Amino acid sequence: MTGIPCALMRGGTSKGGIFLASDLPADEAARDDLLLRIMGSPDLRQIDGLGGAHPLTSKVGVVSLSEDGDADIDYLFLQVAVDRPVVSTSQTCGNILAAVAPFAIERGLVPALEGCTVVRVRMVNTGTIAALTVRTPGGAVTYQGDAEISGVPGTAAPIEVALDPAAGALLPTGNAVDRIAGVDATLIDNGMASVLVRAEDLGLTGGEIPANLEGDPEVVRRIAEIRAAAFPLMGIAGTPETTTTPKIVLLSPPADGGTLRTRSFIPYRVHEAIGVLGAASVAAGARLAGTVATGLAQLPADDAPLRIEHPTGFLDLYVDPFPGDPSRVGESRVVRTARMIMDGKVHPRH
């Protein structure tokens, strides 16, 4: 009963267990079996583990020193299914990304500087690199501050996240719009493989609450059809049943002064907010000409962020143009917060 070192952390609008790679089995099958038992899956309540009975609270980040000269640490994201014995590496997570940078400082992988510390993170799932600026007054991480993000109560210290342009093609098919499963869709990947669809094309307003979308059998069926049709076109490894990408994002005109309103399927439940990288892909779609977002988006002035509306508020982020190439985008930047909830040892189910 020695337990396994673990930090339970909130990152953005997600929550999960953060581990050093050295504290987990090197064998992937053994690692995944252990994580299922730690999180309490498969079980709808995850009553015997750390998981919170929702995909947003059944996440894991694995951290190690990076051998990449452009990064300080490597971050592997694992999505632990709630009701199935599945651990997926098919995507990364920009919310848990916000947690692994302060974790790395707390664990001594990155030395803290006075005031602020920049942590360069290589996201192992995608190969993309992000630079996170963490508040470290007195040479120690602080989680206290006045930054607010929608979907999280209270305030915390801001963590600025700067995402390098995605390593792969922004538009995997090369088209701004593809006709799939009977609807127009923009297949895009600015950090998160996503399929953008106009809500009105599915007979929806785009303002529906997540529970109503999840509870509508026809919506669920159509989303599954669109996802299955997009899967081979985006060159995603695996099968739709074993991977969590692509995400289907329903778009509609903004309702509260933002750029676009969204409802994001992740991939079966509907996000109560929107993932950081999913928002970055939506924002990139809004910036490009001729996508399904064209005509829906209310673009801000050049020096203002794009405000992506979601069920519990909004997410502001900047997406830079790519010099000399209007079919690409440059760096994406967003402010997140994170908090250490528990730091100790977890005892997995036997």
pLDDT digits (tens, 9 = 90+) for 111-163: 999 999 999 999 999 999 999 999 999 999 999 999 999 999 999 999 999 99
Q: What confidence score (pLDDT) does residue 240 get?
A: 84
Span 174-187, average pLDDT: 97
| 295, pLDDT greater than 70 | yes
CATH of domain 4-165+337-346: 3.10.310.10
The ranges assigned to domains in the chain are 4-165+337-346, 178-327
- Which amino acid, residue 74? D
Q: What confidence score (pLDDT) does residue 166 get?
A: 74
Span 55-84, average pLDDT: 97
| 264, pLDDT greater than 80 | yes
Superfamily of domain 178-327: Diaminopimelate Epimerase; Chain A, domain 1 (3.10.310.10)
Share of the chain above pLDDT 90, in %: 89
The pTM (predicted TM-score) of the whole model is: 0.86
| 303, pLDDT greater than 80 | no
| 239, pLDDT greater than 70 | yes
pLDDT band at residue 1 using 50, 70 and 90 as cut-offs: low
Span 78-100, average pLDDT: 96
Asked if residue 183 lies in contact with residue 226, where contact means CB atoms within 8 angstroms, the answer is: yes
Question: What distance, in Å, lies between the first and last C-alpha atoms of the chain?
Answer: 11
Share of the chain above pLDDT 70, in %: 100
- Mean pLDDT taken over the chain: 95
Instruction: Please state, in angstroms and rounded to a whole number, the distance separating the CA atoms of residues 56 and 189.
Output: 20
Q: What confidence score (pLDDT) does residue 336 get?
A: 96
Instruction: Please state, in angstroms and rounded to a whole number, the distance separating the CA atoms of residues 204 and 307.
Output: 21
